[in-house]
Amino acid sequence: MSSRSQDDNVFKALAHPRRRLMLDELKEGPKTTGALCDAFPDMDRCTVMLHLKVLQEADLVVARREGRERWNHLNALPIKQIHDRWISQYATHAIGILDRLKSDLEG
């Protein structure tokens, strides 16, 4: 898969507020699909599974089977890659502009 299409999958996955909340749940540690369903009682199991599928396609969640349970693990690397590619470059530029503005105001 090309880097561009992988970035698209990550942005698509992060675009939905429920999926971001699911990632927040997984920051604390791996959770079973059942535990994620319990964390979102207003969603049925099928909906939780659909959201997990989108997160897996973006490589943000890695699922491992242990017996009858499916454990979902956060993979933060795609988010870091988005940060490195997009956010850090723009943040550096913005900091430079603010630094020049501060110098102009003080000068």
pLDDT digits (tens, 9 = 90+) for 39-86: 999 999 999 999 999 999 999 999 999 999 999 999 999 999 888 887
Q: Is 100 among the domain residues?
A: no
What was the pLDDT predicted at 2?
A: 63
pLDDT at 88 over 80: no
CATH number at residue 12: 1.10.10.10
Question: Which structure tokens are listed for 16?
Answer: 């939905």
Map residue 30 onto helix, strand or coil: coil
Rounded CA Rg of the chain:
18
Please report the sign of the dihedral spanned by the C-alpha atoms of residue 8, residue 10, residue 14, residue 19: positive
pLDDT at 89 over 80: no
Total count of domains within the chain: 1
pLDDT at 107 over 70: yes
Identify which of 41, 93, 100, 51 has the alpha carbon closest to the alpha carbon of residue 72. Answer: 51
Q: Is 80 among the domain residues?
A: no
Give the separation between CA 83 and CA 78, rounded to whole angstroms: 9
Domain of residue 26, residue span: 3-75
Which helix (H) or strand (E) element contains residue 35? helix 33-39
pLDDT digits (tens, 9 = 90+) for 21-51: 999 999 999 999 999 999 999 999 999 999 9
The neighbour count for residue 98, using CB atoms within 10 Å, is 10
pLDDT at 93 over 90: no
Q: Is 31 among the domain residues?
A: yes
